[in-house]
Amino acid sequence: MILGAHESVAGGYHRAFEHATRDKADAIQLWTRSSRQWAARALEADAVDLFRRTHTEYKKPKIPLAAHASYLINLATANEAIYERSTAAMLDECERAETLGVDHVVIHPGAATGCDVPTGIRRAAEAFRKISHQLGKKRVRILIELTAGQGSSVGCSFEQIAEMLEQTGEKRMGVCLDTQHLWASGIDWTTPSGYKKTFDDFDRMIGIKHLRAFHLNDSKKTLGSRVDRHAVIGEGMIGLKPFARLVNDPRFADLPGFLETPPLANGDDSFALGLKRLRSLRSR
C-alpha cells in the first residue's frame, strides 16, 4: 500500500507537499475547497501551476492524489434545494480536482433525509450519473466512501454501495474504504477470518477492481457503534496489529491509504507517527 495522509493546504495548495515531506507521506489527500462552506473561491492559474509543478517535482513517479468532497454535500436527500446545491458542489469538486491534476474525489453520499434509504440511494445514483455526464471526457474519478452508518446515512454497507454503483452505471466510479467506518458499521475486518470474509464479501458484491483507495484510521468507538470517531493509529479500539494485514496485502500494493487521524494530545499532527507505525508493520 502507498501510505499517505490528508494534508493541510493552509497558505496555498502547494503547501500540502511541504507537510507531506514532514510526515514522510507518499500519497496526499486534500481539500480543494472549504469542507464546511458552500461558497468556494475560483482556482487561480498561478496557484494551479505551482501545485502541478510541485507535484511533478516532489517524487518520481508522481505520488497519488485525492480530494475529499465537502461534508455539506448530500446527494441522498429529498430536499430539492439541498440536492441541487449538493450536485452542483460535487461537480465543482470534480472540476477543481481535474484542474489540479488530482486523481480522485472521495465523497460521503449523504443521508436519506425526507425519504427512505432505497430512495436516497436512487437519488445519489441519479446525481452521480448527471455529474459524470457533465464531466464528459475528464479523467477524474468519483470514489464512494463507505460510511460509519450514523443516522440515516447511505453507503454504510457493501450492499448499498453496490446498489449505487449498479444504478449509476458509470466507469468513472470507484470505492474508498475507511477502516474506522468498516469497524463502526459492524464489519469486523480485524481478525484473520474477519479480514478474509470482509474482502471476499467486497469482491463478491462490488468487485475488488472497484476499490481505489483506503482511509486508514483507528476508532474511538466500539465495533458496530455506527459512530464516526477516528483515533490515532494504534491508540483506539482497533489497535495497531490488524493494520499489518492491510499494508502487506499484495492486492492493495498500488493503492493509496490516507491517514485522517486526530491530533496528538500535545496538539501536533499525528500523521508522522501513524505512518511510522504503519511502516513498522511491513514485511521485510
Catalytic residue among 6, 123, 230, 245: 230
Is 36 part of the annotated catalytic residue set? yes
Is 55 part of the annotated catalytic residue set? no
Is 181 part of the annotated catalytic residue set? yes
Catalytic residue among 108, 122, 141, 245: 108
Is 71 part of the annotated catalytic residue set? yes
Is 230 part of the annotated catalytic residue set? yes
Catalytic residue among 19, 181, 212, 245: 181
Is 215 part of the annotated catalytic residue set? yes
Catalytic residue among 215, 235, 245, 269: 215
Smallest CA-to-CA distance from 70 within 96, 33, 104, 17 is with: 33
Q: How far apart are CA 45 and CA 147, in angstroms?
A: 35
Is 14 part of the annotated catalytic residue set? no
Catalytic residue among 53, 71, 139, 282: 71
Is 260 part of the annotated catalytic residue set? yes
68: amino acid identity, one letter: H
Catalytic residue among 92, 93, 235, 260: 260
Looking at the annotation, which residues are catalytic? 36, 68, 71, 108, 145, 178, 181, 215, 228, 230, 260
